[in-house]
């Protein structure tokens, strides 16, 4: 290697190392935990057991014995790898059956599976929207939605400068837009706040101004609505304007995502969504497992009832703290701390006492609103919530 090449390379490494140090100094450095156990209310890390309030496994299905059995059966029936993309020879009867089951479950005409929610958002938004189109976004939308908008090259408008969900601002923007196609794009349940988007009012605006409404129901699917049918069921809305997206790695406990909509939209995604076309299909055994997961979501109402009870108990446990829970009717219960270093200190102190709650910091959430994102699961017990309450009250006195 010539000196020139080595020198350049060292510069790059030095730059990176400076960036990383500055991130660490601002308490923004992120580290991964390494789990040695299945995802559950109690997890094992470096030989120690923790009570965890971190996962999006809201219904407690991620390690359910019936799903494990379905995965094994799926592996025997379909093997492990899909071996090709959906449009070549990777689309199996397990994928197909799951798409039909998801369409029926959501009450929309057709559904299409993607390997992850990130890919579903990227694929759907870029296939349907382009230059000359306009996309209207809430400021707290998930990063995958923002990335999808940038990738689509459509005009990116945020309709909430001050508080999020500023529908008056959205209406002004929709009224003023002369774009060829308009799309209102929103988290149905905001992932770091637990707020439910006012989907019925958003739909009315879309009808009035001839726009599409895309709902990202990553945190509502399986959790909200009768039988866990999600945010559309929660508001009892239906419309050919709705493009519904949900993930299958959170409440459904497995992996993947889907988009459900009118047949023409789904066909357009099959033809044009690059994150659908240019990637290997997810293992069919996962689709086979998800068919079982969908049955449990539909039949086991007690899991959603339990989440409601746990959330009520948590609110009682934490009502005396100086820190406030955001109002949330979902299993996402964020405790606002404010400063990054304080949030990190509390999260670390909890971890030292065997309880895991992640500190969420900017840029994931707005500056000055660092928080503990407490997420509840049907696999938690009332005693688990009481233990978290006690630990936080103790920290409130001592930090
Ligand atoms: C998790 C999440 C995604 C991404 O889904 P993955 O399947 O994890 O890639 C998309 N949108 C929202 C709102 C999410 O919370």
Q: What per-residue confidence (pLDDT) applies to 5?
A: 52
Report how far ligand 1's centroid is from the alpha carbon of 118 (Å): 6
Going by C-alpha positions, the residue among 147, 212, 215 that lies closest to residue 183 is 212
* Catalytic position from the list 191, 293, 328, 379: 191
The domain 65-299 is placed in CATH, from the list 3.10.28.10, 3.40.640.10, 3.40.50.2000, 3.40.50.12160, at: 3.40.640.10
250 tagged catalytic: yes
Catalytically annotated residue among 250, 288, 292, 306? 250
Provide the b/e sequence for 50-65 (b: ≥16 CB within 10 Å). bbbbbbbbbbbbbebe
- Whether residue 30 is annotated as binding a ligand: the answer is yes
Confidence check: pLDDT of 3 > 60 = no
Each residue's pLDDT tens digit, 228-248 = 999 999 999 999 999 999 999
Which 3-state string (H, E, C) describes 17-47?
HHHHHHHHHCCCCCCCCCECCCCCCEEEECC
Q: What is the largest CA-CA distance in the chain?
A: 67
- Does residue 225 line the site of ligand 1, with CB under 6 A? no
Q: 35-59+300-398 with 65-299: one CATH topology?
A: no
Confirm or reject: Cβ of 187 under 6 Å from ligand 1.
Answer: yes
Which residue is catalytic, options 95, 219, 234, 288?
219
Closest residue to atom 14 of ligand 1, CA basis: 218
Task: Based on the residue annotation, tell me whether 191 is a catalytic residue of this protein.
Answer: yes
E strands, 166-308, in order:
182-187, 212-216, 242-247, 257-261
Does the annotation mark 219 as catalytic? yes
Instruction: Tell me, using a 6 A CB cutoff, whether residue 330 lines ligand 1.
Output: no
Edge to edge, the sheet with strand 48-52 lists 42-45, 48-52, 355-356
With a 6 A CB cut-off, is 173 part of the ligand 1 pocket?
no
Instruction: Name the pLDDT band for 6 (thresholds 50, 70, 90).
Output: low
pLDDT in tens, 304-319: 999 999 999 999 999 9
Q: Report the 3 state secondary structure along 354-391.
A: CEECCEECCCCCCCCCEEEEEECCCCCCHHHHHHHHHH
Q: Which of 170, 251, 241 is nearest to 217 (CA)?
A: 251
Q: Encode pLDDT of 198-215 as tens digits.
A: 999 999 999 999 999 999
Residue with CA nearest ligand 1 atom 3: 117
What would the mean pLDDT of 383-389 be, rounded to a whole number? 98
Rounded CA-CA distance 7/397 in Å is: 53
Which residues lie below 8 Å from residue 205, measured CB to CB, with a gap of 6+?
Answer: 167, 170, 171, 174, 184, 211
Distance CA 53, CA 152 (A): 35
Instruction: Give pLDDT tens digits for 134-191.
Output: 999 999 999 999 999 999 999 999 997 767 889 999 999 999 999 999 999 999 999 9
Q: Which of 59, 107, 122 is nearest to 292 (CA)?
A: 59
Place of tokens 């055994």: 285
134 CA to centre of ligand 1 in angstroms: 22
Pocket test of ligand 1: the residue of 56, 122, 144 to mutate, having most ligand atoms within 8 Å of its CB, is 144
**Rounded distance between C-alpha atoms, residue 142 and residue 190, angstroms:** 8
What's the gap in Å between 146 CA and the centre of ligand 1? 12
Count of C-beta atoms within a 10 Å radius of residue 338: 13
CATH among 1.20.1560.10, 3.40.1010.10, 3.90.1150.10, 3.30.1330.60 for 35-59+300-398:
3.90.1150.10
Q: Confidence class of residue 7 from pLDDT cuts 50, 70 and 90?
A: low
Of 55, 118, 140, 286, best ligand 1 pocket probe by most atoms within 8 Å of the beta carbon: 118
Domains in the chain: boundaries:
35-59+300-398, 65-299
Does the CB atom of residue 249 touch ligand 1 within 6 A? yes
Q: The whole model's pTM is what?
A: 0.95
Closest residue by Cα to atom 2, ligand 1, is: 218
Single out the residue of 163, 166, 125 nearest to residue 144, CA to CA: 125
Instruction: Look at residue 30 in the predicted model and tell me its pLDDT.
Output: 86
CA 144–ligand 1 middle distance (angstroms): 7
pLDDT category, 364, cuts 50, 70, 90? confident
Would you say 42 is a known binding-site residue? no
List, for residues 245-300, the tens digit of each pLDDT value: 999 999 999 999 999 999 999 999 999 999 999 999 999 999 999 999 999 999 99
Question: Per the annotation, does 279 bind a ligand?
Answer: no
Report pLDDT for 4.
53
**Contact status, residue 43 vs residue 52, Cβ threshold 8 Å:** yes
**What is the whole-number distance in angstroms between the Cα of residue 295 and the centre of ligand 1?**
22
Which atom of ligand 1 is found nearest the CA of 249?
7
Question: Is residue 134 a contact partner of residue 157, using CB atoms and an 8 Å limit?
Answer: yes
The overall average pLDDT reported for the chain is 95
Convert the pLDDT of each residue in 69-124 to its tens digit. Answer: 999 999 999 999 999 999 999 999 999 999 999 999 999 999 999 999 999 999 99
């Amino acid at each position: 290697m010539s000196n020139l090449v080595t020198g350049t390379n060292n510069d790059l490494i030095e730059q990176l190392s400076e960036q990383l140090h500055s991130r660490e100094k601002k308490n923004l450095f992120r580290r991964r935990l390494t789990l040695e156990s299945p995802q559950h209310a109690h997890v094992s890390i470096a030989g120690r057991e923790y009570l965890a309030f971190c996962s999006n496994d809201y219904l407690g299905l991620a390690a359910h014995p019936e799903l494990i059995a379905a995965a094994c059966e799926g592996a025997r029936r379909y093997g492990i790898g899909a071996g090709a993309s959906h449009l070549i020879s990777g689309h199996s009867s397990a994928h197909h059956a799951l798409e039909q089951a998801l369409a029926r479950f959501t009450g929309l005409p057709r559904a299409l599976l993607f390997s992850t929610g990130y890919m579903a958002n990227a694929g759907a938004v870029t296939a349907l929207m382009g230059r000359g189109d306009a996309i209207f976004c809430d400021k707290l939308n998930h990063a995958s939605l923002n990335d999808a908008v940038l990738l689509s090259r459509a005009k990116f408008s945020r309709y909430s400068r001050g508080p999020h969900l500023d529908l008056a601002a959205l209406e002004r923007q929709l009224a003023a837009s002369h774009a060829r196609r308009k799309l209102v794009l929103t988290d149905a349940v905001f992932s770091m706040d637990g707020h439910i988007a006012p989907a019925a009012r958003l739909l009315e605006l879309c009808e009035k101004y001839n726009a599409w409404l895309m709902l990202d129901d990553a945190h509502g699917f399986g959790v909200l609505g009768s039988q866990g049918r999600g945010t559309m069921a929660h508001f009892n809305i239906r419309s050919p304007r709705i493009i519904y997206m949900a993930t299958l790695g959170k409440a459904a406990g497995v992996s993947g995502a889907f988009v459900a909509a009118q047949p023409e939209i789904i066909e357009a995604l099959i033809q044009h969504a690059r994150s659908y076309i240019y990637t290997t299909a997810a293992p069919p055994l996962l689709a086979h497992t998800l068919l079982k997961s969908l049955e449990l979501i539909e039949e086991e109402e007690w899991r959603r009832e339990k989440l409601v009870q746990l959330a009520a108990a948590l609110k009682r446990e934490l009502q005396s703290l100086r820190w406030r829970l955001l109002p949330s009717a979902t299993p996402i219960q964020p405790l606002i701390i404010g400063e990054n270093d304080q949030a990190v200190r509390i999260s670390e102190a909890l971890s030292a006492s065997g309880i895991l709650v992640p500190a969420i910091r900017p840029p994931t959430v707005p500056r000055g609103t660092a928080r503990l994102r407490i997420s509840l699961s049907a696999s938690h017990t009332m005693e688990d919530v009481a233990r978290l309450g006690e630990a936080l009250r103790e920290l409130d006195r001592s930090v």
